């Protein structure tokens, strides 16, 4: 086949594409962090603040224009039914400007806000900050335990696997009990020491396992860069979506790696067979999530964010699985 000959000749070269994209994503996140002090845009559930929900058919554009005359750093979103009829407006602002927002709304609407015509939720900034840190720890632990499981599946040597489990248990104990409570510099040094040693162990002892981890890492970094680029403000649900993405990212990678390492036919036959199965799995998920996003788009901002992040991540998963991981595993299999 002409395509097979072209692929065999160029599969190592196309690794340049994901390498460049990953580098650009990391640079963008670094610049974003330098400008904002964080790697994400956080909404009120992660920064602390007040959310006021009112039942009205007033245009969100008109209300935003009016509130902008006296307030800044707030956001407005509309909730509609399946027919597109607006049901509610949701306005969020920092905790310290709650009274100013209430006064501005009452002045514009012409009536006093009560429990009957509105609802108000206030989240403490300190509580939100602590919760955000705990979510980040959860994401890091999930990723490193995912990496440990992949390593145990594909690496050789029982003692090495046992030591990997012990190190991950110690790492998890540190992250869960001390990471947020000791000096930040000391905490960062210990984290980097654990992480660097584990990654070195994975790279040195199992290239297939490292390829799976690299693809999952690239999925998360690239998705995060796009989320920041479009200006999405992440809520707690958005962080949970990244936890879900870790699981979505490794299933097709493990399928591909298992097929190639345990192949009974040629490398390309095993690769193309895995491609058919893996892309069917991913595309099925994409179609299901797209349908769900369309169904809830007008009335559930939380689910909108989860589904949007998963769609972006699954798109990158196709790219990283069948270009990054496939090329590395094919190279490794041919070398063996």
Of 194, 219, 211, 196, nearest to 151 by C-alpha is 211
Q: Which two tokens stand for residue 246?
A: 């870790």
Query: What is the per-residue pLDDT across 124-137, written as a single tens digit (0 to 9) for each?
Result: 666 667 777 888 88
Helix (H, G, I), strand (E, B) or coil at 182: coil
With pLDDT > 70 as the criterion, what percentage of the chain qualifies? 95
* Domain end residue (candidates: 99, 123, 147): 123
Cβ-based burial of 200 (10 A; exposed 0-12, middle 13-18, buried ≥19) = exposed
Q: What is the dihedral of CA 231, 237, 238, 239, to 10 degrees?
A: 130
Asked if 202 and 261 sit in the same domain, the reply is yes
User: How far is it, in rounded angstroms, from Cα 53 to Cα 169?
Assistant: 44
Asked if 196 and 115 sit in the same domain, the reply is no
pLDDT category at 74 given cuts 50, 70, 90 is confident
Cβ-based burial of 153 (10 A; exposed 0-12, middle 13-18, buried ≥19) = middle
Asked if 160 and 284 sit in the same domain, the reply is yes
Asked if 148 and 219 sit in the same domain, the reply is yes
pLDDT value of residue 207: 86
Tell me the CATH number at 297.
1.20.1640.10
Asked if 135 and 272 sit in the same domain, the reply is yes
Max CA-CA distance within the chain?
Answer: 76
User: Cα(first)–Cα(last) distance of the chain, in Å?
Assistant: 24
Asked if 39 and 65 sit in the same domain, the reply is no
Domain that holds residue 69: 49-123
* Domain end residue (candidates: 67, 100, 123): 123
pLDDT value of residue 237: 84
- Maximum average pLDDT range among 24-33, 91-100, 327-336: 24-33
State the total domains in the chain.
Answer: 2
For the beta carbon of residue 257, count every other beta carbon within 10 angstroms: 29
Asked if 116 and 207 sit in the same domain, the reply is no
pLDDT category at 16 given cuts 50, 70, 90 is very high
Between 60-74, 118-132, 138-152, the lowest mean confidence (pLDDT) is in 118-132
Asked if 212 and 66 sit in the same domain, the reply is no
251 phi/psi in degrees, rounded to 5: -65, -50
Asked if 279 and 305 sit in the same domain, the reply is yes
Tell me the CATH number at 66.
3.30.70
Q: Which two tokens stand for residue 118?
A: 């509105």
Asked if 253 and 323 sit in the same domain, the reply is yes
Query: What is the per-residue pLDDT across 160-216, written as a single tens digit (0 to 9) for each?
Result: 889 888 988 998 888 888 888 888 888 889 999 988 998 888 888 888 888 888 898
Query: Do the Cβ atoms of 129 and 87 come closer than 8 Å?
Result: no
Q: What mean pLDDT do residues 70-98 have?
A: 75
Asked if 176 and 325 sit in the same domain, the reply is yes
* Domain end residue (candidates: 82, 106, 123): 123
Asked if 186 and 199 sit in the same domain, the reply is yes
pLDDT value of residue 316: 94
């Amino acid at each position: 086949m002409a395509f097979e000959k072209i692929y065999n000749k160029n599969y190592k070269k196309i690794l340049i594409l994901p390498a460049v994209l990953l580098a650009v994503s990391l640079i963008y996140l670094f610049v974003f962090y330098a400008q904002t002090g964080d790697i994400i845009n956080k909404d009120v559930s992660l920064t602390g603040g007040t959310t006021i929900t009112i039942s009205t058919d007033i245009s969100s554009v008109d209300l935003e224009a009016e509130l902008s005359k006296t307030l800044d750093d707030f956001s407005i979103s509309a909730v509609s039914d399946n027919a597109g009829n607006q049901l509610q407006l949701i306005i969020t602002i920092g905790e310290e400007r709650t009274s100013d927002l209430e006064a501005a709304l009452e002045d514009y609407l012409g009536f006093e806000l009560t429990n009957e015509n509105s609802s108000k939720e206030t989240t403490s900034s300190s509580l939100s900050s602590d919760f955000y840190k705990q979510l980040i720890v959860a994401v890091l632990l999930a990723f490193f335990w995912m990496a440990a499981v992949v390593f145990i599946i594909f690496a050789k040597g029982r003692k090495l696997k046992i030591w990997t489990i012990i190190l991950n248990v110690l790492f998890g104990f540190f992250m869960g009990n001390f990471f947020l409570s000791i000096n930040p510099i000391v905490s960062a040094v210990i984290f980097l020491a654990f992480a660097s040693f584990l990654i070195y162990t994975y790279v040195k002892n199992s290239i297939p396992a490292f390829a799976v981890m690299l693809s999952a890492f690239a999925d998360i970094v690239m998705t995060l860069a796009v989320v920041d680029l479009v200006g999405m403000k992440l809520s707690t649900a958005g962080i949970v979506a990244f936890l879900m993405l870790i699981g979505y990212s490794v299933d097709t990678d493990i399928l591909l790696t298992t097929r190639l390492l345990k192949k009974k036919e040629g490398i390309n036959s095993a690769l193309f067979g895995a491609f058919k199965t893996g892309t069917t799995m991913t595309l099925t998920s994409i179609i299901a999530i797209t349908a769900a996003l369309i169904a809830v788009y007008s009335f559930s901002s939380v689910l909108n964010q989860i589904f949007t992040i998963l769609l972006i991540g699954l798109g990158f998963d196709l790219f990283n699985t069948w270009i990054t991981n496939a090329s590395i595993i094919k190279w490794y299999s041919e070398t063996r």
